[in-house]
Structure 1
Amino acid sequence: MSGKRYPEEFKTEAVKQVVDRGYSVASVATRLDITTHSLYAWIKMYGPDPSINKEQSDAQAEIRRLQKELKRVTDERDILKKAAVDSICQCNTPFNYLFRCFELQCLSRSVV
């Protein structure tokens, strides 16, 4: 039994459906009435260049690293924000601190 000959455009379109559009190999093979073995061979032949995949994986690794760093820095910022608010939910700025101290001194003098 001899195999069918398919034009290159047909092969590249089948590969695009798997690689670019995200369809499974089995579903594309069934829909186009070809074997999965042929489709895997076409993906090897017409699929993305491995060097491009390497560059993409490097970029994705860098994105993951930057996302982790962003999360860490955001958590640190949130901790510092929480530490900057005292027990009566007022911001611990120097002005507020001095104002409260002055207020206490004035109150203590008026009581005496």
Structure 2
Amino acid sequence: MSSQRYTPEFKDEAVKQVVERGYSVAEVSERLGISAHSLYKWINAVKPDKSEAQAKELLEAKSEVLKLRAQLRRAEEERDILKKAARYFARNPE
């Protein structure tokens, strides 16, 4: 195994070539003289973690549920008021 170390700038540039510019991992690794395995590891280190995305989606879903519950509560209150009004007017025709 090689004990060669690469600078963070070198790693960032290699990852940019794959992620932003659309070059293949094989092409970039061959051109820069690094292993494809190392390049894949650098790319995976930069990608956002799946758990972060799942946590964000969960938070959005929870806020949506809270909003919908509030809307339901308001609709039920309005319905109850209309029921009481209908009973009142049914008993007291004027």
TM-score relative to the length of structure 2: 0.48
TM-score relative to the length of structure 1: 0.42
